Amino acid sequence: MPETGESPATDFTVALLQEFVRLGIRHVVLAPGSRSQALALACAELERAGAIDLHVRLDERGAAFLALGIAVETGTPALVVTTSGTAVANLHPAVLEAHHSGVPLILLTADRPAELRGIRSNQTTDQPGIFGTAARLAADVSAPVGDPGEYAQARALAKQATDAATGTVTQNPGPVHLNLAFREPLSAATSGAWEAAGAPADEAIGAEVSEATIPESPDSREPYLVTPGLRTIVIAGHGAGPAAEEFARTGGWPLLAEVSSGSHFGPNLVVAYRELLREDDWGGQVERVIVFGHPTLSREVSALIQRDGQGDTSVETIVIAPTGAELYNPGHRVQTFARHAAPDAASVALAADRETRAWTGRWVMASRKLRDALDAEESGPDVAASVSADYRVRGGFAKAELAALRAPVTRELLVDAVWRASWPHDRLVFGASRLIREADRRVPGKKISVHSNRGLAGIDGTIATAAGIALASQGGPEPRSTGVTRVLLGDLTLLHDVGSLLQTPGEVRPRLQVIVGNDGGGTIFDSLEVATSAPAAAMDRVLYTPQQVDLAALATAYGWEYTLAAKRSELEKALTAPVQGPAIVEVPLRR
């Protein structure tokens, strides 16, 4: 460990960051500031040495969501570095999303030493514990004084933080907060800072440490065996992953998978699940529900689990949660929680039974019929007419096809086009808007990488999150993806995170296509009950939030490519054209 002899802050942060690198952390997202300068300069040195991928951002909120996107893609925590004061508070939305989604993050926030706290020093507030129970670990680290033993303490702190963020022991991954006090001199030269970190130390940390209280969790040692005998459906909510599809297929049960579940594919997929669950002939027959992930896109799922009744009319619910302490439990009606589950031998054997196949087949076929009816309502020209022997029929086809290409884009068409354009080497991110719900009710099964911030389902940081996913998947010596990251969102979701359009000169410009369904405001409220009771003027004033932002000018201001896709032909061209860097595709939609 090289010592500068000039700044204990620099010596301590170099030791801390070295250990994070040794533990496998590659990405650091940094928002500049004075009190955090030792961290920033050490990061610059580690970047120069090729030890980290450094991303510098102006806004702390966007920086934190960028790190969240990186962690979503890699499964490894990214570091977030900020200065003190309001900079720390701006991390809170991403911290809450990471907390509820179980995404690992490590926050390194600079602070004043003890003697400068509580006396109204500039840019000083009560930072220790600022994130409350959302932090898996919160450590308030005393300002280093240059004691050689502090280097071992720094390494031990990095190890403890990484274990807490990844849930190594607790099976509860999430955000970690290291609040680092620094005295002047706040930095010194860091040339040659990257050296072998040496063996980690197990010595105590000179800090006040609090860990999130983790309630008693399901037994994780053996999988819960699901027996046959009940009419069963498998629900895959956000983040369920391919395990839910495999489970449903092995047991021969219908799979009701949300579009961002990671399970929206396979022979047992039931796309039109909302419509079916609303019908007694379908939802009313369900006797057992097995839930993976976090269902957030429909009320029908939670209503089914909370269905009133006793005996034959009640619903047995089993929730499978490999990680996390906050478990899905609508109405406190869930009877069983487990970390892992598998169909038992009898269930696997019965998966091929005629009655079992008939149960699942009826769900799948009913869903297909509903989807076919939906397609018929929105159908384009009759393709068979294009080869008709009657020239008048062929002419009619040509006119109808031209009219379809010139027709305005609808939400349905937009969702379908983006889904068709996305493939396994791409990444697709949905904002919290009407569009993800439209996709959830209509797009067919396809095994692609889909993400949405559904922990709290807020519109915060959507572009930053998508940029993090793009950078993590496309960058590095061995890119995880050679494709494009597309983010489909509404206009207000874009404007809420407009600061994340700012690109840092000299950094990698990701292949990121932001597709904006612009209907001039928050039309999601038009589909809620409030629209039937609130005065129209009040709706527009306080809920709809009308806007008339010139997105072309916005793209120009931030140096993004821009395309207007008002017609189907323009949209398809935009989605099939090569994406070389950040680009905005604006799609006007009717309210």
Integer Cα distance of 260 and 453 in angstroms:
9
Residue 314: which H helix or E strand, with range? Answer: none
Does the structure show a pLDDT above 90 at 118? no
Is the bond preceding 185 in cis, omega lying within 30 degrees of 0? yes
Q: Give the homologous superfamily in CATH for domain 8-211.
A: Thiamin diphosphate (ThDP)-binding fold, Pyr/PP domains (3.40.50.970)
Does the structure show a pLDDT above 90 at 234? yes
Does the structure show a pLDDT above 50 at 19? yes
Integer Cα distance of 207 and 209 in angstroms:
6
Our measurement of the distance from residue 402's CA atom to the centroid of its chain's CA atoms, rounded to an integer in Å, reads 39
User: What would the mean pLDDT of 406-428 be, rounded to a whole number?
Assistant: 94
- Mean pLDDT is lowest, of 19-23, 190-194, 368-372, 504-508, for 190-194
Q: Is 40 helix (H, G, I), strand (E, B) or coil?
A: helix
Does the structure show a pLDDT above 70 at 591? yes
Token pair belonging to 121: 């020093």
Average pLDDT score, the chain: 90
The model's confidence at residue 2, banded by pLDDT at 50, 70 and 90, is very low
The model's confidence at residue 440, banded by pLDDT at 50, 70 and 90, is very high
Domains 8-211 and 411-588 share a fold: yes
User: What would the mean pLDDT of 383-400 be, rounded to a whole number?
Assistant: 61
Instruction: Report angle CA 174, 335, 276 to the nearest 5 degrees.
Output: 90
Q: How many residues does the chain have?
A: 591
Look at residue 543 in the predicted model and tell me its pLDDT: 85
The model's confidence at residue 1, banded by pLDDT at 50, 70 and 90, is very low
Token pair belonging to 561: 């490519």
Q: Which residues contact 7 (CB under 8 A, 6 or more apart)?
A: 38, 185, 186, 187, 188
Does the structure show a pLDDT above 60 at 212? no
**411-588, what's its fold?**
Rossmann fold (3.40.50)
**224-369, what's its fold?**
Rossmann fold (3.40.50)
Concatenating the DSSP letter of every residue in 490-541 gives: EHHHHHHTGGGGPPPTTS----EEEEEEE-SS-GGGGGSGGGGTS-HHHHII
The model's confidence at residue 456, banded by pLDDT at 50, 70 and 90, is very high
pLDDT per residue as tens digits for the range 488-523 = 999 999 999 999 999 999 999 999 999 999 998 887
Does the structure show a pLDDT above 60 at 215? no
What percentage of the chain reaches a pLDDT higher than 70? 88
Give the number of C-alpha atoms closer than 13 A to the C-alpha of residue 155, restricted to the C-beta side.
Answer: 18
Token pair belonging to 436: 């993800």
Own/partner pairs, 522-525, CB within 8 angstroms, 24+ separation: 522/490, 522/492, 523/434, 523/490, 523/589, 523/591, 524/433, 524/434, 524/490
Neighbours of 355 (CB within 10 A): 9
The model's confidence at residue 405, banded by pLDDT at 50, 70 and 90, is low
User: What would the mean pLDDT of 35-60 be, rounded to a whole number?
Assistant: 96
What percentage of the chain reaches a pLDDT higher than 90? 74
Q: Categorise residue 529: left if φ over 0, alpha if ψ from -120 to 50, beta otherwise.
A: alpha
Neighbours of 132 (CB within 10 A): 12
Is residue 518 a contact partner of residue 589, using CB atoms and an 8 Å limit? Answer: yes
Integer Cα distance of 515 and 411 in angstroms:
12
Q: Give the ranges where 295-446 is alpha helix by DSSP (H).
A: 299-305, 345-350, 354-377, 391-406, 411-421, 434-440
Integer Cα distance of 393 and 387 in angstroms:
9
pLDDT per residue as tens digits for the range 322-343 = 998 889 999 999 999 999 999 9
Concatenating the DSSP letter of every residue in 239-294 gives: T--HHHHHHHHHHT--EEE-TTSS---STTB-TTHHHHHTSTTTGGG--EEEEESB
Does the structure show a pLDDT above 60 at 306? yes
Look at residue 191 in the predicted model and tell me its pLDDT: 58
The model's confidence at residue 114, banded by pLDDT at 50, 70 and 90, is confident
pLDDT per residue as tens digits for the range 313-323 = 689 999 999 99
Instruction: Report angle CA 162, 56, 7 to the nearest 5 degrees.
Output: 70
pLDDT per residue as tens digits for the range 518-572 = 998 887 887 778 888 889 888 888 888 889 999 999 999 999 999 999 999 999 9
Look at residue 218 in the predicted model and tell me its pLDDT: 57
Integer Cα distance of 43 and 54 in angstroms:
7
Look at residue 386 in the predicted model and tell me its pLDDT: 64
Domain boundaries, the chain: 8-211, 224-369, 381-406, 411-588
